[in-house]
Amino acid sequence: MSKSEKRRRKPAKSRGHKQAASRNQTGPGTQPSIPSAQTMWRTMHLDWQVYDKLIETTMNLHPSLWKRDADKIQKIEQAADIEAVLDLATDAIGLASYAWPKRMREFGPNAANPIVARLNSDWMHRHAKHRTAIQEHYIGALRWCEDGAADALMRCWDSLDDYGRSLACIVLGLVGARQSADQLWAFYRHTRSVPQDWFVGPLWALIDLGDGRAADALIDALLDKRAFYEKYGFLSRSGDARVLLPLISDVVRGSEATRADAMWALTGVAHRLGREGIYQMLRMDTDTSDADNSHLDSFMDQIFQYSQKDVEEHFELFYSSGAGSILFQEERQGCTH
C-alpha cells in the first residue's frame, strides 16, 4: 500500500436509476466500480441531515431544477392527508424526492400503519409498474417511524419483493432491531446464490447489528471469489481472523484494481485483532527461520503502516460519520437523483 494509494475510495460516476446497480452481475469476475443501489439508499437514510445537505447542494448547483419540479413539490406539500401523500409517491422524483419524505415525517410514527396497509393492499398490484420506486419511498418513510419501524416491516415483509426486503433489512439494521437477526440471516442465505446483489442489504444489517454471522458471510464471499463493490469495505468493518489468509492472497495475487482495497481491508482487520495475535497466526503458516521471520516482520510493518482512522477515511462509505459525502460528490459531478 504505497503513499499514492492512501486516498479515499470513491465510486465511479453513475447516472442510471438507483436500482440499475442492483442488476449488476456480482459473481466471480471484475469488481464493480459503483456501490449497489442498497448502499446508496442506506447512505440517504443514515441521518436526516444528509437529505437537508443534499438538497442545499443540489439547489446551489442546479437552481433551475426547482422550476422543473415545482408542480410536483406543491402537490406533495398541499396534499390533504397521509393517504393523499402516499398516492403521490410515484411523483417523488428529482427535488420532489426530498419533499415527499419530508412531508411524511410530519405524520411521525403514525405513518407506519397506513404504509403497511398500502404495501399489503391491492393498490400495490395496480401500480406494479412503479413497484420499485414505491418500495424505496415507503420503506424509507418507515425508517423514520421510530420504535414502530421494525414491527411495521415485519408485518409487510411477505408483500415485498426481494429488492424491497433487501432495503427493509437495511432499515432493521439502522434502527437496531436485534430481534430480527435470525430473519436477516435467513434472507441472506436465500439471496447468497442469486446473481443480483440483494444479499448486500442483509449483510449491511448484520454488520450494523454487530451480529457474528456477518463474519461467516464475508469469509464465504472471499472463498467464493464473489465480486461486489462493498466486499472490502465490509471486511474492514467485520472480517475476523479467518479472512487473513484469503485477504493476503488477494493482496499478492489479486488484480491491480483490487489489491489496494484488499490491503486496506487487511489493515482494518489487523487493527481489531492486534499485531501480536496476527504475528503468531502468520508464523504458524510459515517456516521459522531467521530469514522468514525477517520477511514476516517487514510484511507486518506494511499491514500496520496506516492507522484505523486512515482505514475509515479510505472506506468512508462504510463508516457512518463520513458516508454522506459520497452523495455530495455525486451532486458536484452533476448527477441528480
Per-residue pLDDT of the chain in tens (337 residues, 90 and over written 9):
654 455 445 554 433 334 434 444 444 557 788 999 999 999 989 888 777 777 777 777 777 777 888 999 999 999 999 999 999 999 998 888 889 999 999 999 999 999 999 999 999 999 999 999 999 999 999 999 988 999 999 999 999 999 999 999 999 999 999 999 999 999 999 999 898 999 999 999 999 999 999 999 999 988 888 899 999 999 999 999 999 999 999 999 988 889 999 999 999 999 999 998 888 888 776 555 555 678 888 899 999 999 999 999 999 989 865 555 555 555 445 444 4
d(CA 278, CA 106): 51
Residue 106: predicted pLDDT: 94
Residue 129: predicted pLDDT: 94
Task: Assign residue 326 a region (left: φ > 0; alpha: ψ between -120 and 50; beta: otherwise).
Answer: alpha
- 8 Å CB contact between 326 and 320: no
**Residues 236 and 287 placed together within one structural domain of the fold:** yes
Residue 332: predicted pLDDT: 47
- 8 Å CB contact between 192 and 220: yes
**Residues 74 and 195 placed together within one structural domain of the fold:** yes
Is 134 within the bounds of a domain?
A: yes
**Residues 178 and 227 placed together within one structural domain of the fold:** no
- 8 Å CB contact between 28 and 224: yes
Residue 325: predicted pLDDT: 56
Query: What dihedral do alpha carbons 296, 299, 303, 307 form, nearest 10°?
Result: 90
Is 26 within the bounds of a domain?
A: no
Point out the domain boundary residue: 211, 238, 253.
211
195: containing domain: 35-211
Residue 178: predicted pLDDT: 96
Is 6 within the bounds of a domain?
A: no
Point out the domain boundary residue: 177, 211, 245.
211
Q: How deeply is 216 buried, as exposed, middle or buried, from its count of CB atoms within 10 A (0-12, 13-18, 19+)?
A: middle
**Residues 160 and 59 placed together within one structural domain of the fold:** yes
**Residues 126 and 201 placed together within one structural domain of the fold:** yes
**Residues 192 and 238 placed together within one structural domain of the fold:** no
Is 195 within the bounds of a domain?
A: yes
d(CA 50, CA 45): 8
Is 150 within the bounds of a domain?
A: yes
> What is the number of structural domains in the chain?
2
Q: Strand locations in 205-304, DSSP E?
A: none
- 8 Å CB contact between 80 and 61: no
**Residues 163 and 199 placed together within one structural domain of the fold:** yes
Amino acid at the residue 328: F
What secondary structure letter does DSSP report for 12? P
Distance of CA 265 to the CA centre of its chain: 16
Point out the domain boundary residue: 211, 236, 262.
211
**Residues 250 and 183 placed together within one structural domain of the fold:** no
Is 312 within the bounds of a domain?
A: no
Grid coordinates 416491516 are at which residue? 153
- 8 Å CB contact between 41 and 22: no
Residue 217: predicted pLDDT: 95
**Residues 142 and 286 placed together within one structural domain of the fold:** no
Output b/e per residue, 23-36; b: 16+ Cβ within 10 A. Answer: ebebeeeebbebbb
Is 4 within the bounds of a domain?
A: no
- 8 Å CB contact between 83 and 114: yes
Is 207 within the bounds of a domain?
A: yes
Amino acid at the residue 82: I
**Residues 286 and 248 placed together within one structural domain of the fold:** yes
**Residues 136 and 46 placed together within one structural domain of the fold:** yes
**Residues 296 and 201 placed together within one structural domain of the fold:** no
φ and ψ of 289, to 5 deg: -70, 160
Distance of CA 303 to the CA centre of its chain: 26
